Amino acid sequence: MGIWTLDDIPWSELDRSKVDPEILRTIKAASLVEQNGADYAQYLCNVFYDDPEFQEVARRWGEEEIQHGQALGRWAMLVDPDFDHAKASERFTRGFRVKLDVRDSVRGTRSGELLARCIVETGTSSYYTALGEATDEPVLKAICQRIAADEFRHYKLFYSYLKRYLRREHIGLWERLRVAAGRLVESEDEELSYAYYAANENAAAFDHRRYNNAYAQRVYTLYRKHHIERGMAMIFKAVGLKPNGRLNLLAARIAWAFMHHRAERLERRAA
């Protein structure tokens, strides 16, 4: 288990008047993805089949991710009593399954797998930091602060194993860039959009583009420049580049401009 539990959350301080309905929709989606932690932990245990130390770490990590799903799901149910987190999780995993019958990482190497995990934890730690700063609802703020700290700790954990495996596998900078870029592009893959759909839609059929845009439109507007700069520094560090150099600043500026532009375009389209 993690270093906090659901009992540490000040549930009685919930203030429904401060809940943004759009944020509620994204929280419902995030709660389903986090709840899927056991499958991801199993996948990592399969890939690192002869490394019991890392398998133990992966299992504990999976439990912490599930706890994130539980905390967010409970918050969403308190705000919206019609939302059934367990049912929505079932619906989500019926339509989206992590491929578990593997012995090799989909990234090609174990270092690639660990690097991809660092990219994911960068994304989640930035997301919950941004969300925690954006919301005025005290319980959600308290949950996001705890989750953001966990995600940053997860990043450091995977980074320490990445360094260890890189000493054995020696994958070059270009390969590391390829894996990192591949994982970044996947952040717009089916998982999040399907979670958004499974959590919020009951009648319509799934449409990847539609729900991906709906999710992105709500989430991209939460980020501020400092979140992107910090996230880019974490990505640079994981890839093996200087996290505080000029290249990092330039990449952060480009990423910020891209997100800003995309958020504006999606908002115009939705209007």
Contacts with Fe ion, residue ranges (CB under 5 A): 34, 65, 68, 121, 151, 154
Instruction: State the Cα–Cα distance between residues 131 and 93, nearest whole angstrom.
Output: 25
Place of tokens 């390829």: 178
Instruction: State the Cα–Cα distance between residues 208 and 88, nearest whole angstrom.
Output: 18
Q: Which amino acid is at 172?
A: G
Which CB sits closer to Fe ion, 134 or 201?
A: 134
Which CB sits closer to Fe ion, 65 or 113?
A: 65
Q: Name the minimum Å distance from CB 148 to Fe ion.
A: 9
Q: Name the minimum Å distance from CB 195 to Fe ion.
A: 13
Q: Name the minimum Å distance from CB 28 to Fe ion.
A: 15
Which CB sits closer to Fe ion, 62 or 112?
A: 62
Residues 6+ apart with CB under 8 A from 129: 144, 148, 227, 230
Place of tokens 């194993």: 161
Query: Which residue in 180, 145, 147 sits closest to 37, CA to CA?
Result: 147
How many C-beta neighbours within 10 Å does residue 173 have?
A: 10
Place of tokens 């990592």: 44
Which CB sits closer to Fe ion, 127 or 256?
A: 127
Which CB sits closer to Fe ion, 113 or 121?
A: 121
224-227 contacts, C-beta under 8 A, 24 or more apart: 224/130, 224/133, 225/252, 225/256, 227/126, 227/129, 227/130
Which CB sits closer to Fe ion, 25 or 154?
A: 154
Q: Name the minimum Å distance from CB 132 to Fe ion.
A: 13
Q: Name the minimum Å distance from CB 58 to Fe ion.
A: 11
In this structure, what DSSP letter does residue 206 have?
Answer: P
Buried b (16+ CB within 10 A) or exposed e, 73-93: bbbbbebbeebebeebbebbb
Q: Name the minimum Å distance from CB 263 to Fe ion.
A: 23
Place of tokens 């009685």: 12
Residue 55 to residues 50, 160, 247: CA-CA distances in angstroms?
A: 9, 14, 35
Q: Name the minimum Å distance from CB 258 to Fe ion.
A: 24
Which CB sits closer to Fe ion, 191 or 201?
A: 191
Q: Name the minimum Å distance from CB 154 to Fe ion.
A: 4
Contact by Cβ (8 Å): 215, 196: yes
Which CB sits closer to Fe ion, 118 or 266?
A: 118
